[in-house]
Amino acid sequence: MLNETDILPDGLLEADATDLLELLGSPTLIHLQGKRPEPLFISTLLHGNETTGFYAIQQLLRDNQNKALPRSVSIFIGNVEAAAAGQRRLEHQPDYNRIWPGTHHDDCAETDMMRTVSNIMYKRNPFASIDIHNNTGLNPHYACVNILNSHCIQLAGMFGSTVVYFTSPRGVQSAAFSDFCPAVVLECGQSGQADGVSHSTRYLQAVLNTEKLHSEHPVHLRLFHTDARVTVPEIYSLGSYDGADIRLNQELENMNFDQLGTGSVFATVKADSDARLVVTNESNENVTDEFFEVEDSKIVLRKNATLSMFTTNEKAIRQDCLCYLMEQIHIG
């Protein structure tokens, strides 16, 4: 299932993300030699419709053509089948960013592949790991970390002033690699936006040129901790049409990374329906009653929370979640 090569595949720098299934055939791990031997690991297309990372890698490699890379690079190109279809994942597939070591997902060929990639990279002693994603909803660019050590925080702070710390869901690439190197996730806005590609490319070049990470925490950060994940149970219909069990507050998509106050309306429910949103914490415990209550057929917040990744895209909601709820934290 996994291709591994030390040679840049012909045509990769000119390809569209939808061409990669034909070009590569399957997920591919590419090792390129640079001046410093400890490689920078870059992961892209774990979700097939999140293309910014792939185009940023293309631009990075074009910018460094005909000269030695400042540092060795290992590039993992993930779900090429879903990329060919322009989908996050295909219906028969697991989520490629929920099946890395530490996952609760049942073993399958894909979990074995991610374990293999992790083992290969562990032996190569990577300098850092960067996993590049897009959001479905409207969000600023931000970085995420899974542990609050200084090297991870510095790596995240190099991308921007907004950083999110999370430990759930399990099985994400960045958490697996955090066991043996500094690791971050980049969230680069929506796919297809040029500023996401240019921002990511500049960041990758900066990390490539970084000799070592330091122990001081950046002072300019807004650091958030993800407290909870909000999902919509499959048994309830969802939409903006009359008769839907749950009708989302569409305005919230413009309020990601804003703090919402007590009483903020998330959705309305059909009259006489028992439809509810479900909230789980980092331990996967149901904490819905801590965050939401129903008043006059409206689902409202019971306490202040900062919103992230809220989307009204039903397919994205069903395959992942509606949003996350966060609190701002401070570290010394």
The 3-class secondary structure across the chain, one letter per residue, is CCEEECCCCCCCCCCCHHHHHHHHCCCEEEEECEEEEEEEEEEECCCCCCCHHHHHHHHHHHHCCCCCEEEEEEEEECCHHHHHHCCCCCCCCCCCCCCCCCCCCCCCHHHHHHHHHHHHHHHCCCCEEEEEECCCCCCCCEEEECCCCHHHHHHHHCCCCEEEECCCCCCCHHHHHCCCCCEEEEECCCCCCHHHHHHHHHHHHHHHCCCCCCCCCCCCCEEEEEEEEEECCCCCCECCCCCCCEEECHHHHHCCCCEECCCCEEEEECCCCCCCCEEEECCCCECHHHHEEEECCEEEECCCEEEECCCCCHHHHHHCCCEEEEEEECCC
Do 114 and 177 lie in a common domain? yes
201 domain residue, yes or no: yes
Do 268 and 317 lie in a common domain? yes
Domain that holds residue 185: 3-220
pLDDT at 331: 76
- Which of the residues in the chain have pLDDT under 50? none
For residue 306, list its beta bridge partners: 259, 326
Measured between alpha carbons, how far is 276 from 269 in angstroms, rounded to an integer? 8
Do 216 and 255 lie in a common domain? no
**104-137 burial, b if ≥16 CB within 10 A, otherwise e?**
ebeeeebbebbbebbebbeebebbbbbbbbbbbb
pLDDT at 240: 76
pLDDT at 330: 84
332 domain residue, yes or no: no
Do 216 and 239 lie in a common domain? no
pLDDT at 220: 82
Provide the domain count of the chain: 2
Q: Choose one of 173, 200, 220: the last residue of a domain.
A: 220
pTM of the model: 0.94
Do 120 and 207 lie in a common domain? yes
Do 202 and 268 lie in a common domain? no
pLDDT at 47: 98
**Dihedral pair phi/psi, residue 299, rounded to 5°:** -90, 115
